[in-house]
Amino acid sequence: MSTPKKFASQADLEVKKVTFTKLSEHAYAYTAEGDPNTGIIVGDDCVLVADTQATPAMAQDVIRRIREVTDKPIKYVVLTHYHAVRVLGASAYNAEHIVASEDTRDLIVERGEQDKASEIGRFPRLFSNVESVPPGMTWPTLTFTGKMTLWLGKLEVQLLQLGRGHTKGDTVVWLPQDKVLLSGDLVEFDATPYAGDAYFNDWPKTLERVAALGATALVPGRGPALIGAERVKQGLDSTGGFIADVRASVQAGVAAGKSLNVVYKDTFAALKPKYGHWVIFDHCMPFDVTRCFDEVTQYADPRIWTAERDREMWETLEG
């Protein structure tokens, strides 16, 4: 009898090497071999950080890198979406404002507590020194719908909601002057998109709007910084291709009357040759296929993941 897969990424203990890359006069990427990334913008009078790392202890390393290039105050923390791995480090920055879309705030209200417990249980390594996270939720102090412009002195920074994809609240950070984009988890590179809270039907169309900005450098949610229009296009195309491939496989399975269990096994087998080398492929696929199956069959909006639901799903598909 084969050994069941260890739940989610509980067996993943390998520490990743951090890279801090300058993308333009104002933008930097903090990346870690497929672990969650952070984007940094240094304006005339202050600093903006997009996606905080998972704990205040982990955020200290981001702050250390920022202090190597500037002593300007960190005024803004932007949450590109609500996932715990992106937001729980926020308190470390002592920022004047924590900014998020109104949709992201709504998701924190609706499912923040459950999501936090769920994510920490799935992937403990990503929550190093989790005891450093203050109790309760990370709450935005500023919210917006559609578009917000921040001025870091004379530097224009646009926060844009270009459509639903990874979540319904996805926000990208766009520097029109430098043509640099911080995409959050709307775009990944050499890393499997987590789509457990996604809108499969909308995501590829949202990526078309991202492409229309014409970025020449992009900080994806995971993976290396993408420098040059060709690399940016590669990131957008590969993310969109994965989402479309999952959806096509799930739709075909549902049309044939197959159960979630069979659809999952078929989809995993179909996608592994093309995407199996991407970071966290085995981790994401059960969540991704379950959400896609939900969307195609009966749930337009993502259901809340709890630690208990995570386990039940995993045992059903991988047990």
Q: How confident is the model at residue 1 (pLDDT cuts 50, 70, 90)?
A: very low
Determine the pLDDT at residue 12: 57
Interatomic CA distance for residues 170 and 160, integer angstroms: 8
The full set of domain ranges for the chain reads 19-318
Mean pLDDT of 289-307: 97
Determine the pLDDT at residue 126: 85
Q: How confident is the model at residue 255 (pLDDT cuts 50, 70, 90)?
A: very high
Mean pLDDT of 271-299: 97
Burial class (CB in 10 A: 0-12, 13-18, 19+), 167: buried
Report pLDDT digits (tens) over 304-313.
999 899 999 9
Interatomic CA distance for residues 52 and 130, integer angstroms: 14
First CA to last CA distance, the chain: 11
Mean pLDDT across the chain, nearest whole number? 94
For the whole model, what pTM was predicted?
0.95
Interatomic CA distance for residues 169 and 291, integer angstroms: 17
Q: Higher pLDDT residue, 60 or 126?
A: 60
Q: How confident is the model at residue 55 (pLDDT cuts 50, 70, 90)?
A: very high
Domain with residues 19-318, CATH architecture: 4-Layer Sandwich (3.60)
Q: Using a pLDDT cut of 90, give the percent of the chain over it.
A: 87
- For residues 13-38, one letter each, b for 16 or more C-beta atoms within 10 angstroms of the residue's C-beta and e for the rest, the string is eeeeeeebeebbebbbbbbbbbbbbb
Report how far Cα 222 is from the mean position of its chain's Cα atoms: 7
Q: How confident is the model at residue 23 (pLDDT cuts 50, 70, 90)?
A: very high
Interatomic CA distance for residues 216 and 102, integer angstroms: 28
